[in-house]
A = this chain, B = another copy of it.
Amino acid sequence: MTTGDDAGPIIQLGASERLGARPALTARELADLIGVSQSTVSRAFSKGTSVSPKTRAFVLEQAEKLGYRPNVIASFLSRRASSIVGVVTADFTSPVYIDMLDRLSVRMQELDIHPLLFNLQAGAEAGDQLAVLRQYNIETVIVISGRISHMSVARWAADGRKVILMNRDIPDAAIGSVRCDNSASSLVADHLWEIGLRRVAFVGGPESSAVSAEREQAFVRRVAELGMILCGREGGREYSHQSGFDGTRAVMASRPEAILYATDRLAIGGLDALSWSGGLSVPGDVSIVGFDNIDMACWPGIQLTTVHHDVPRIVDGAIELLQQIQNGREGPRKHLVKGGLVVRATTGPAKA
């Protein structure tokens, strides 16, 4: 039995679907169909143009009905600009950056702005990417990564691209940024002080990381103010679980009562070293604190005390900046989002 002549297509599609395979309607065709000029169609679809509300409504209604949508490629060419936004990433292993990318890309789509993904490897540098940005007429670039060099960012900006940095900043008025307030790590010192701990240590990320440095600095300062003792300090080569694990083993030599980590991932590596693989009690033997409040931090078996990193609000800020830039509006270009301490089960008084 064949399905060709009697059963019809196997997948049932509506009429408009079936037409799909034929080339999309153009503005000219729509214009001819509904009896207006092609430029009127174009104007109906762009805001800030002089069309009578009536004609615009008519055109949009007919377009909807006949399935017309402006071809953005032609529009980009004509306008010499594109609504594509470059999104630069490099840290797919960081839950926080992934979360940002997730939420950001969803929000962008709602606004009909589409993200072209530039996922840079360790080696890649600005030059190559810049050429691509130009080829696509991309005006705006959002950087979700701590690993792209400042130099790269500066070059994009110098080339006239608008740059929005997530989670970092370069002191330059032309470059927007939205970051969490890393100085919130001082709250950790207060918390540890209150539960009676005095000897503390810090385990950080790579020495080159500004995020780690800022979190450390605010913590160390508050520790000193409170008269607590910073007995140990370790850096790592990366922000990995293993790095947190190793850093913890190393820092334990100084017998701290509590350890602050630059990120939750490091802290969970520490939990592994101390508890899962180490046989110590957390917080009985040592308290540990992370930073970021990633999903994993509230798993039943983890319950990590940490500093909340408000990703949704950071993404809100980036979207706002994006619209501000695209509309040529003025306004503050640097956003700082506050976090707060989330106390869970990995901090507590030392056991007697």
Contacts and interface: CB of A to CB of B under 8 A. Distances in A.
A93 B294 CA distance: 11
Nearest to A75: B135
A132 B117 contact: no
A160 interface: yes
Contact of A132 (B21, B87, B114): B114
A102 to B, nearest CB: 4
Given A73-B82, A92-B98, A106 B132 contact: no
Chain A, interface size category, equals 35 or more
Interface stretch (A64-72, A200-208, A325-333): A64-72
A297 to B, nearest CB: 11
B245 A300 contact: yes
A352 interface: no
Among A73, A109, A112, A272, find the residue whose CB has the most chain B CB atoms closer than 10 A.
A73
A13 B158 contact: yes
A295 B69 CA distance: 44
Contacts of A300: 242, 245, 272-273, 276-277
A229 interface: no
A302 B245 CA distance: 13
A313 to B, nearest CB: 18
A96 to B, nearest CB: 12
Contacts of A114: 116-118, 132, 136
Given A21-B158, A92-B99, A105-B117, A135 B272 contact: no
A226 interface: no
A115 interface: yes
Nearest to A151: B11
